[in-house]
């Protein structure tokens, strides 16, 4: 993530990966504030054994695209909700990549962070039956939870 202030959003990605039993690391790396660290992180990610990168950033969110430009790993971008523009700036700056350097862009905020983790797990599950089983169980729990909510319960 681009800043420690993104953690309240990106924690949902980390928590979801933990729930699925997916080993992962969390780092603060900024294309703007720590460009050398960002280059180091992106260019060594694959050789360190990482398989997918989830990059969350807000505002002028260049981090996901810059990381994607320096690795062949799949990069999933999470637009963190900004105060000034409610995350529309983050979304537009992540989703509008030029053709040739893709970033798989998720929704703004918590839902995007959770879905980035689920999508990363789906990618890993192609070669990992344990993660596939964990995703199956996660979906089943979600289905049960929705089915059990009475229609007249107060909105969450």
Shortest distance, CB of residue 67 to ligand C2R, whole angstroms?
9
Q: Which residues contact 126 (CB under 8 A, 6 or more apart)?
A: none
Q: Which residues contact 22 (CB under 8 A, 6 or more apart)?
A: 117, 120, 121, 124, 131, 134
Asked if 117 is part of the footprint of ligand C2R (rule: CB under 6 A), the reply reads no
Q: Are 120 and 23 in contact (CB under 8 A)?
A: no
Asked if 3 is part of the footprint of ligand C2R (rule: CB under 6 A), the reply reads yes
Q: Measured from the CB atom, is 19 or 60 closer to ligand C2R?
A: 60
DSSP 5: G
15 is in an annotated binding site: no
Asked if 112 is part of the footprint of ligand C2R (rule: CB under 6 A), the reply reads no
60, 95, 119, 123: which one binds ligand C2R (CB under 6 A): 60
Shortest distance, CB of residue 150 to ligand C2R, whole angstroms?
38
Of 85, 99, 38, nearest to 64 by C-alpha is 38
Residues that bind ligand C2R (CB under 6 A): 1-3, 5-6, 30-33, 57-63, 80
């Amino acid at each position: 993530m681009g800043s420690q202030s993104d953690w309240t959003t990106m924690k949902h990605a980390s928590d979801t990966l933990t729930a699925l039993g997916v080993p992962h690391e969390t780092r603060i790396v900024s294309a703007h504030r720590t460009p050398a660290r960002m280059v180091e992180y992106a260019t060594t990610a694959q050789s360190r054994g990482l398989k997918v990168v989830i990059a969350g950033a807000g505002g002028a969110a260049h981090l996901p695209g810059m990381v994607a430009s320096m690795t062949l790993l799949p990069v999933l971008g999470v637009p963190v909700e900004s105060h000034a523009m409610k995350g529309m700036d983050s979304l537009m700056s992540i989703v509008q990549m030029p053709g040739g350097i893709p970033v798989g862009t998720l929704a703004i905020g918590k839902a995007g962070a959770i879905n980035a983790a689920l999508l990363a797990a789906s990618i890993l599950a192609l070669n990992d039956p344990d993660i596939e089983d964990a995703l199956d169980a996660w979906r089943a729990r979600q289905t049960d939870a929705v089915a059990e909510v009475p229609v007249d319960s107060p909105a969450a």
